Chains A and B, each alone.
Chain A
Amino acid sequence: MNRGNKILKVENIDKNINNKQILQIRKYSVIKGKFNFIIGANGSGKTSLLNILSMIDNDYQGTIYYKGKIISKKERNCELRRRFSVIWQEPYLYRGNVYHNIALPLKLRGFNKKIIHKKVKNISQKIEIDDLLEQSVYTLSGGERQKVSIARALVTEPEILFVDEATTNLDEESINFFNSHFADLVTEEMTVVMVSHDRRQIKELADRIAYLKKGKILSSQAREEFDFSQLGAGICSSIEEIV
């Protein structure tokens, strides 16, 4: 694997909260254009790692590389973050209607109204929420809220898409929609970093899998090489189904 494929890389990460060590990672890379999965038990530090990779959390010791270049704390600004998008487990939607929320990242980037309109229409049709655009976000169901947040993340056509257990709290129907459509929504060039428990997602989407335990990366490999037997009970309990 050549260097250029590692779009993001972290080294010697130390993250503490209230003197308690949350993460201690010697090395971890995100491979360009792939689905990079991070799995692990609850509290193993997956979300913390995602926050560091997406440069939302900058309060830690260690080095982060983007396309082979060290990114200092100062450089982890919105200009860089604008190449990324994040889908959270529980999305936060801003006061107003659905259209406003999907358009928001484009407005922040200073796009003109026409382009924003076109892009929002386009993405909401793909995610099948174009009939909800005028609705207040407070009237939406959990599944609809997550769809809006997915549209909001994808509308900027991010270089890297971070997904943090996007389906954990959703109903069956929404999970099915997500699983059957998500791969189509992601373009060839897009890199995905995904925290997930869902075995179907791991089975169908994962290119690479990193296993996180108590803040440390135990292994990070291509899915074909990944040793599922190392996983304890509770994480993807039926390993056989995955392999």
Chain B
Amino acid sequence: MNYYSEAFREAFNLIITLDRELLNVVATSLRLSTSSTIIASTIAVPMAVIIARKDFSAKKFFNVILNTLLSLPTVVVGIFVYSLISRRGILGEYQLLFSSTGIIMGQTILILPLITALVRNTIFSLDEKLYKTAKSLGATKKQQFKLLIMEARYGIIGAVIAGFGRVLGEIGISMMLGGNIRGVTRTMTTAMALETNKGRFSFALALGIILLILSFTINFLVYFLQEGEHYEQR
């Protein structure tokens, strides 16, 4: 017991003194997660609007696939992207493996279905009259899209944050595609795995605490957004 209380004390010390190595890992993690979340969202939001609003023949099939991909384990995405960007893969010549770009690719693919499905559900739940009204107010196609996004904004932001939380906490992709390279692709989760293995428990613990605080903040934000929406509708 004594060993662990000592480790906790050391972990807090690392956080309070803003240990450089610790900060570096946290910054790498945030940088990668933010990039993949932004890229995934830019693709997912328009895609979700199309799935929710347009009729096309393969739509049912598409929705089934989307729902399947929702619970995709990270290692599955990892191995799939690995086979693409490995030197012997189709995209081998671009040297993406063991780089930030490799992780970002994998993480983007991981949360693309998640954000798409959540945004799709939000758009489904909107009032049908919204579309007629937008047209009647003289909105151009672009403005109609913008109004739709504005109406669904809480749901969309919630979806984006959920995606961010997922990539921040995943380890399979970061490990397989990033290679846990210090200062480049060492994220909070891969560093935790490494440091625990090394017996540097306090460092791993410090990361665990930061990850916990971050995911608490994320969930609090989501909750706050939903509350905000309810408050507005009251």
Indicate whether A and B interact.
yes
1/0 contact trace for B143-182 toward A, CB 8 Å? 1000100110100000000000000000000000000000
Scoring B129, B133, B135, B137 by chain A CB atoms within 10 A of each residue's CB, the highest score goes to B137
Assess whether B132 is interfacial by the CB under 8 Å rule.
yes
Assess whether B130 is interfacial by the CB under 8 Å rule.
yes
Q: Is the CB of A82 within 8 A of B138?
A: yes
Q: Smallest distance from the beta carbon of B16 to chain A beta carbons, Å? A: 42
Given the complex of chains A and B, what is the CA–CA distance between A243 and B24 in angstroms? 84
Given the complex of chains A and B, what is the CA–CA distance between A162 and B132 in angstroms? 13
List A41-95 residues whose CB lies under 8 Å from chain B.
51, 54, 56, 78, 81-82, 84-86, 88, 90-92, 94-95
Q: Is the CB of A78 within 8 A of B130?
A: no
List B123-144 residues whose CB lies under 8 Å from chain A.
127, 129-130, 132-133, 135-141, 143
Q: Is the CB of B133 within 8 A of A78?
A: no
Number of A-B contacts (CB under 8 A): 58
1/0 contact trace for A85-129 toward B, CB 8 Å? 110101110110000000011001100000000000000000000
Contact of A108 among B132, B138, B153 (CB under 8 A): B138
Q: Is the CB of A95 within 8 A of B151?
A: yes
Assess whether A156 is interfacial by the CB under 8 Å rule.
yes
> Given the complex, which residues of B lie within 8 Å of A56, measured CB to CB?
132, 135-136
Assess whether A177 is interfacial by the CB under 8 Å rule.
no
Contact of B137 among A51, A104, A162 (CB under 8 A): A104
Given the complex of chains A and B, what is the CA–CA distance between A78 and B132 in angstroms? 12
Assess whether B93 is interfacial by the CB under 8 Å rule.
no
Q: Is the CB of A94 within 8 A of B129?
A: no
Assess whether B6 is interfacial by the CB under 8 Å rule.
no
Closest to B130 in A: A92
Chain A count of residues within 8 A CB distance of the other chain: 25
Chain B count of residues within 8 A CB distance of the other chain: 20
Contact of B232 among A82, A136, A152 (CB under 8 A): A136
What DSSP secondary structure best describes chain B's contact surface? helix
Q: Smallest distance from the beta carbon of B143 to chain A beta carbons, Å? A: 5
Contact of B136 among A86, A94, A109, A139 (CB under 8 A): A86
Given the complex of chains A and B, what is the CA–CA distance between A104 and B151 in angstroms? 13
Contact of B138 among A92, A109, A136 (CB under 8 A): A109
Assess whether A182 is interfacial by the CB under 8 Å rule.
no
A positions within 8 Å CB-CB of B = 51, 54, 56, 78, 81-82, 84-86, 88, 90-92, 94-95, 104-105, 108-109, 136, 138-139, 152, 156, 162
> Given the complex, which residues of A lie within 8 Å of B136, measured CB to CB?
54, 56, 81, 84-86, 88, 162
Q: Is the CB of B233 within 8 A of A105?
A: no
Scoring A51, A108, A138 by chain B CB atoms within 10 A of each residue's CB, the highest score goes to A108
> Given the complex, which residues of B lie within 8 Å of A136, measured CB to CB?
232
> Given the complex, which residues of B lie within 8 Å of A152, measured CB to CB?
137
Q: Is the CB of A78 within 8 A of B150?
A: no
Q: Smallest distance from the beta carbon of B43 to chain A beta carbons, Å? A: 25
Q: Is the CB of A108 within 8 A of B139?
A: yes
Given A81-B138, A90-B129: A108 in contact with B151 (beta carbons within 8 A): no
Assess whether B234 is interfacial by the CB under 8 Å rule.
yes
Given A91-B133, A108-B140, 20 more A-B residue pairs with CB atoms under 8 Å apart are A51-B132, A78-B138, A78-B139, A78-B140, A84-B138, A86-B133, A88-B132, A88-B136, A90-B129, A92-B130, A94-B130, A95-B232, A108-B138, A108-B143, A138-B232, A138-B234, A139-B234, A152-B137, A156-B138, A162-B136
Given the complex of chains A and B, what is the CA–CA distance between A86 and B130 in angstroms? 13
> Given the complex, which residues of B lie within 8 Å of A138, measured CB to CB?
232-234
List B175-232 residues whose CB lies under 8 Å from chain A.
232
> Given the complex, which residues of A lie within 8 Å of B153, measured CB to CB?
95
Contact of A94 among B135, B138, B150 (CB under 8 A): B150
Instruction: Give 9 closest A-B pairs by Cβ, nearest first.
Output: A82-B138, A92-B129, A86-B136, A92-B133, A105-B137, A138-B233, A78-B140, A56-B135, A108-B139
Q: Is the CB of A108 within 8 A of B135?
A: no
Given the complex of chains A and B, what is the CA–CA distance between A104 and B134 in angstroms? 10
Given A105-B137, A108-B139: A92 in contact with B232 (beta carbons within 8 A): no
> Given the complex, which residues of A lie within 8 Å of B127, measured CB to CB?
92
Given the complex of chains A and B, what is the CA–CA distance between A152 and B133 in angstroms? 11
1/0 contact trace for B106-127 toward A, CB 8 Å? 0000000000000000000001
Given the complex of chains A and B, what is the CA–CA distance between A32 and B201 in angstroms? 82
Scoring B132, B136, B141 by chain A CB atoms within 10 A of each residue's CB, the highest score goes to B136
